[in-house]
Structure 1
Amino acid sequence: MILFITILGTAVGIIGTGLGGLAALFIVKPSSRFIGVLLGITSGIMLSIVTFDLLPESYNISGLATEILGICLGVLTVVLVEGFFPVVNNSKPPYNSKTSFLKTGLLLGVAIGIHNLPEGLAIGSGYMLTSKMGITMALVIALHNFPEGLAMAMPLRLSGTSAFKIVFFTFLAGIPTGIGAFIGAILGGLSDFFIALCLAFAGGTMLYITCGEMIPSAKALHKGRASAIGIALGFIIGLIISIKL
């Protein structure tokens, strides 16, 4: 089962970011509004899944104390990672940059790879709880990774990087999802406490990344209402996924 979960997590990461990279090759020049709406929708989906899946399941398994501990550890981990890798925190959306497209794309790739690790953790620990939970997490994270792959690929494309390298780099950024899924499956197999802790940990990291980076980036790219409407639409989509899948 652990092998299957690891393969699932790796496939989700690679396919999600990879499809975003492929899509960038066919988009002539995406507008800031288009990217802002995409980020808004994925932000809403992430918030909804954290609210209605990850955190409630963590609470039901091991109670409020474990849930709060997991959230705090998740947030702290991202903060520490940002301290060691300042580019994760300081990277600007590539669509506002006029120079250094190659550097911007590669730095975004580093940031995306780091963020994919806790997302894989949600897949692994969720699958150890129930296969339904794991598949739901996999689907949501694949959707979430698509605009990330697109955001990474566009500056690489503008830098003149070959199509093969663009797809290869976006695939590479998705691999940490499989590593996270493996860790989540190992810890989740030890006890219910670790399942609950991993779910809350993943929820904490996703809350921090979504509220601290994705939503502000969506609003920075487009000052109008479109990104906010995208967030609400994504939240509804995430709610449907949580209830129906």
Structure 2
Amino acid sequence: MAVLASVIAFLMTLAGGLAAMRVRDRRHLVLGLAGGLMLGVVAFDLLPESLEMTRHRPLGVPNPMIGFAAGFLLLHVVEQAVAIHRAHEKEYAPHTHGGGSAGLLAASALVGHSLVDGLSIGLGFQSGTDVGIFVAVAVITHDFADGFNTVTAASLSRTDRRPAVLLLTADATAPIIGAAVGTLITVPDAVLATYLGTFAGVLLYLSAAEILPEAHSVHPRIMTLCTTGLGLAAVLFTVGLTQR
């Protein structure tokens, strides 16, 4: 059952990625939607789930929130490290951001997240068929957004589709591997919770500092704002449907 559920997740992830590729002529709308989906996943899925998984509070702060800040800072450091700044007299001239590198890092993090999704399916079925089915439904329903976001992130500041295709393939395959591993091992909730918090910080930075600014850079803002709101609402609705 766990492997079957992961195969369905594989197909949903591919469908999301292919959808993102087909609408590239409306890139600003794709970016706006992806930004909303990412914000929704952070606020309505990753952070609540991570906080429920552990009560560890080093220095009085929950583990996932420390990971959240670390993930946000990590992507900021990477983005600044690859940015090319050109000084012009006493002012800085326009510079080229390292959005491509940051996007590839975030897309790689999405692959890691999908691996954890598959792991969750395997562990869920270890706890019982009912729990496993619930976890599988929750994973499958948001894997479309995962595939969509993977392609969008990997395509930032790039015209070559090969990195996006490779990362989408890895993202779609990861749940199957995770589900297989999840049927064999047990991962402490504290470890998973910290990872989810870190990943949430990575997604928030990518959405707020890379995707949404690029979406609003040259295109009409009203429609882009609407797609961002649609992405938020879609995640909220999906999370609501999968709550027990």
Same structural fold, with TM-score higher than 0.5 when normalized by the shorter chain = yes
Pairwise CA distance, 1:133? 4.2
What is the SS of the residue equivalent to 2:54? helix
Larger deviation, residues 177-186 vs 190-199: 177-186
- 1:241 pairs, out of 232, 238, 243, with 238
Whether the 8 Å contact between 2:107 and 2:151 is mirrored in structure 1 is no
Q: Could you say which structure has the larger radius of gyration?
A: 2
The verdict on how the C-alpha distance between 1:55 and 1:220 changes in structure 2, with shifts beyond 3 A counting, is same
Pairwise CA distance, 1:45? 2.2
What is the SS of the residue equivalent to 1:220? coil
Whether the 8 Å contact between 1:45 and 1:140 is mirrored in structure 2 is no
- 1:90 pairs, out of 95, 98, 116, with 98
How many angstroms apart in 2 are the aligned matches of 1:194 and 1:223? Answer: 43
Pairwise CA distance, 1:242? 0.6
Residues 194-209 of structure 1: pairs in structure 2 closer than 5 A: 194-209=191-206
- 1:116 pairs, out of 105, 110, 117, with 110
Whether the 8 Å contact between 1:119 and 1:141 is mirrored in structure 2 is no
How many angstroms apart in 1 are the aligned matches of 2:178 and 2:75? Answer: 17
The verdict on how the C-alpha distance between 1:198 and 1:108 changes in structure 2, with shifts beyond 3 A counting, is closer
Structure 2 residue aligned with 1:58: 50
The verdict on how the C-alpha distance between 1:217 and 1:173 changes in structure 2, with shifts beyond 3 A counting, is same
Pairwise CA distance, 1:136? 2.9
Structure 1 residue aligned with 2:17: 17
Pairwise CA distance, 1:215? 1.3
Larger deviation, residues 139-148 vs 6-15: 6-15
The verdict on how the C-alpha distance between 1:112 and 1:17 changes in structure 2, with shifts beyond 3 A counting, is farther
Q: Does residue 42 of structure 1 match 2:42?
A: no
AA aligned opposite 1:224: R
Pairwise CA distance, 1:176? 3.6
Larger deviation, residues 2-11 vs 44-53: 2-11
Kindly provide the CA deviation profile for residues 29-82 of structure 1, in whole angstroms up to 9, marking residues without a partner as x.
Answer: x2xxx3222222222122122212211121122135112122133224434554
Structure 1 residue aligned with 2:148: 146
Count of aligned positions: 213
Identity of aligned residues (%): 18
Pairwise CA distance, 1:244? 0.8
Whether the 8 Å contact between 1:35 and 1:221 is mirrored in structure 2 is no
Pairwise CA distance, 1:143? 2.6
Larger deviation, residues 213-222 vs 138-147: 138-147
What is the SS of the residue equivalent to 2:217? helix
Structure 2 residue aligned with 1:193: 190
AA aligned opposite 1:136: A
The verdict on how the C-alpha distance between 1:172 and 1:40 changes in structure 2, with shifts beyond 3 A counting, is same
What is the SS of the residue equivalent to 2:166? helix
Kindly provide the CA deviation profile for residues 5-29 of structure 1, in whole angstroms up to 9, marking residues without a partner as x.
Answer: 87666555544324433x26xx7xx
| 5+ long unaligned stretches in structure 1 | 93-106, 157-165
